[in-house]
């Protein structure tokens, strides 16, 4: 039987096969061979003409295995099939054995090879994948009508069992493979991710290490700088301490040794005046008096200088205090010394300050004392103590001030007045040692504050000061 006779070779497209199937794995070659063997054996046992396994792959139905019987009109290799799928659909829907004792003797079917050969009796039996989807059919062509024998059914059922077991195995294997592939893919991805992360980690590590090294370096540099600074502070402190000791020794020496000669000058001049007054004219006596006064004056200056140096060294006793009250006390004392003078004091009440009360009193004694002194010629002298409404622009500290309407000063001289022994006015007119403002500045400095003055000749003076944050 030559298949080449078949007029419509190849695959027959079945348009009305309305069955949905999912992608299924290929049937391996060895399984196909096994099925072929069984199929051939069954043909021999049953003595049938032809058997096929038709595979249904909508919309295609193809001859998958054809028995090697000589009477087989269809050849597997050519895959010729003229099946319209009509019975297939019926069988698939029925899911059971479909015996067709006498195939339709329709004229349309006449041309079919098997019918031409008289094989118009056939049986179909569905073959299913484990998931219930149809794989295909076993298809037996017969000349005789013996499809209802139990041998027939048993063998077909047996073959169906074998095929379906194999299908289960194939599907399981495929699933397993798919799973393995998926797993391998995942492993691969995972490895990639790990690899990327490892690279990133390595990069970060490197960066980190670099950072650590740099930090260590800068820490070391910092420590080095700190050590150096500490060393310098130590050295400077030692220097300062030495200078302080020297200063103390110096002032101690001044205090003791400079006075003795002055005492001698004054004492023996006095002795001359007393014991030899009849041997001197008035001019001689005047000279001696001047010598005495000079010595006394020098004693006074020494005293002031020592006071100034003591102020620089004395420990500060910082407290929050009522500076207005302090100013009032000082003003009362000034008034007591010169009761004849009429001076109006305008002292704002309740001003607070943080500082050493003893030293701040010295500040006020000097500033208010100066104001008192330089308003001596004023008919209506006014001395004010208050604070500015606005705090100091640079430091934000309260600005206190002492204002008078006295003789004032030339602003071009303003810087010099805080220098020790520097006087802006004639000593005869306004007596003093010239050390008062230097003392005040020293005290303000020790309080980490600032002092400055404003004035105009004959129009009074204002002395401003701040006290730093030394709480």
Partner 1 sequence: MNEKVILLVEDDPNDVDLTLRALKKNNIKNRMDVAQDGVEALDYLFRRNKFKYLEERKLPEVVLLDLKLPKIDGLEVLRQIRKNEQTKLLPVVILTSSKEEQDLINSYKLGANSYIRKPVDFNQFSDAVRNLGLYWLVLNETPPGMVD
The footprint of partner 1 (CB under 8 A) covers: 251-252, 255-257, 259-264, 266-268, 270-271, 292, 295-296, 298-299, 310
Residue 295, SS3 per DSSP = helix
What is the token pair recorded at 204?
Answer: 């970060």
The residue behind tokens 């200063």 is: 247
Compute the C-alpha angle 294/300/301, nearest 5°.
Answer: 90
Tell me whether residue 169 or residue 250 sits nearer to partner 1 (CB atom).
Answer: 250
CB of 317 to partner 1, least distance (A): 14
* Shortest distance (Å) from residue 291 CB to partner 1: 11
Q: How far is the CB of 346 from partner 1 (least distance, A)?
A: 37
Q: 146 or 270, CB closer to partner 1?
A: 270
Output the furthest CA–CA distance in the chain (Å, rounded). 189
- Give backbone dihedrals phi and psi of 255, rounded to 5 degrees, phi first: -60, -40
CB of 363 to partner 1, least distance (A): 20
Question: By C-beta, is 37 or 267 nearer to partner 1?
Answer: 267
Of residues 353, 383, 384, the one with CA closest to residue 466: 353
Between 112 and 442, whose beta carbon lies closer to partner 1? 442
Question: Of 311 and 417, which has the nearer Cβ to partner 1?
Answer: 311
The beta strands (E) that lie in 31-145 are given as 50-57, 60-66, 98-100, 121-128, 134-142
Compare residues 75 and 299 and give the one whose CB is closer to partner 1: 299
Give 256 or 340: the residue with its C-beta nearer to partner 1. Answer: 256
Q: Which of 417, 383, 420, 423 is nearest to 403 (CA)?
A: 383
CB 265 to partner 1: min, Å: 8
Nearer to partner 1, 223 or 263 (CB): 263
- Residue 330 CB, nearest distance to partner 1 (Å)? 23
Report the distance separating Cα 166 and Cα 82, nearest Å. 27
Give CA separation, 430 vs 296, 426, 437, 461, in Å. Answer: 18, 6, 14, 15
Q: How far is the CB of 367 from partner 1 (least distance, A)?
A: 25
Nearer to partner 1, 119 or 292 (CB): 292
Q: How far apart are CA 462 and CA 367, in angstroms?
A: 9
Cα–Cα distance, 38 to 405 (Å, whole number): 137
Structure tokens at 442: 């020293």
Shortest reach from residue 318's CB to partner 1, in Å = 20
* Element of type H or E holding 239: helix 150-257
CA dist 229 and 84 (Å) reads: 104
Alpha carbon separation from 234 to 227, 244, 248 (Å, rounded): 10, 15, 20
The answer to whether residues 92 and 16 touch, using CB atoms and an 8 Å cutoff, is no
Min dist CB 260 to partner 1, Å, is 5
Taken as a whole, the chain contains a residue count of 471
């Amino acid at each position: 039987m030559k298949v080449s006779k078949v007029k419509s070779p190849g695959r027959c497209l079945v348009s009305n096969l309305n069955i949905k199937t999912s992608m299924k794995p290929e049937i391996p070659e060895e399984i196909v061979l096994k099925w072929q063997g069984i199929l051939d054996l069954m043909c021999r046992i049953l003595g049938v003409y032809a058997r096929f396994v038709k595979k249904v792959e909508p919309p295609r139905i193809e001859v998958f295995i054809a028995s090697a019987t000589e009477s087989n009109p269809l050849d597997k290799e050519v895959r010729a099939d003229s099946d319209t799928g009509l019975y297939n659909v019926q069988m698939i829907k029925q899911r059971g054995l479909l015996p067709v004792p006498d195939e339709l003797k329709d004229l349309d079917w006449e041309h079919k090879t098997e019918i031409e050969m008289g094989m118009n009796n056939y049986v179909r039996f569905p073959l299913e994948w484990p998931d219930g989807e149809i794989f295909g059919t076993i298809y037996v062509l017969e000349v005789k009508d013996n499809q209802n024998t139990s041998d027939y059914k048993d063998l077909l059922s047996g073959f169906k069992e074998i095929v379906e077991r194999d299908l289960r195995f194939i599907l399981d294997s495929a699933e397993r493979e798919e799973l393995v592939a998926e797993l391998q893919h995942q492993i691969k991805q995972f490895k990639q991710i790990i690899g990327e992360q490892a690279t990133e980690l390595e990069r970060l590590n490197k960066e980190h290490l670099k950072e650590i090294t740099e930090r260590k370096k800068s820490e070391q540099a910092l420590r080095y700088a700190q050590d150096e600074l500490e060393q310098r502070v130590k050295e400077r402190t030692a220097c300062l301490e030495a200078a302080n000791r020297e200063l103390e020794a110096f002032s101690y020496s001044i205090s003791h040794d400079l006075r003795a000669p002055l005492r001698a000058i004054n004492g023996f001049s006095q002795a001359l005046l007393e014991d030899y007054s009849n041997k001197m004219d008035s001019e001689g006596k005047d000279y001696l008096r001047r010598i005495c006064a000079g010595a006394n004056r020098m004693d006074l200056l020494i005293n002031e200088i020592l006071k100034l140096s003591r102020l620089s060294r004395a420990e500060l006793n910082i407290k929050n205090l009522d500076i207005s009250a302090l100013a009032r006390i000082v003003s009362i004392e000034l008034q007591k010394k010169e009761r004849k003078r009429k001076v109006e004091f305008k002292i704002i009440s309740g001003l607070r300050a943080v500082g050493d009360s003893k030293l701040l009193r010295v500040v006020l004694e000097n500033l208010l004392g100066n104001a008192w002194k330089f308003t001596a010629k004023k008919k209506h002298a006014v001395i004010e103590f208050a604070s500015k409404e606005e705090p100091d622009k640079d430091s934000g500290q309260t600005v206190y001030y002492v204002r008078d309407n006295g003789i004032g000063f030339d602003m071009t001289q303003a810087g010099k007045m805080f220098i020790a022994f520097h006087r802006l006015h004639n000593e005869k007119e306004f007596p003093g040692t010239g050390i008062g403002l230097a003392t005040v500045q020293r005290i303000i400095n020790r309080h980490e504050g600032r002092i400055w003055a404003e004035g105009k000749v004959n129009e009074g003076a204002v002395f401003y000061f701040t006290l730093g944050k030394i709480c």
